[in-house]
Amino acid sequence: MIKKISTNNAPAAIGPYSQGLDLGNMVFVSGQIPIDPATGVMADTIEEQAKQSLTNLKNILAEAGLGMENVVKTVVFLADLNDFAAVNAVYETFFADPFPARSCVQVAAIPKGAKVEIECIAVR
The active-site residue out of 104, 106, 108, 112 is 104
Q: Can you give the three-state secondary structure of 6-69, one letter per residue?
A: CCCCCCCCCCCCCCEEECCCEEEEEEECCECCCCCCECCCHHHHHHHHHHHHHHHHHHCCCCHH
120 labelled catalytic: no
Q: What values do phi and psi take at 119, rounded to 5?
A: -120, 165
Q: Which amino acid is at 26?
A: M
CB of 72 closer than 8 Å to CB of 100: yes
Residues assigned a catalytic role: 104
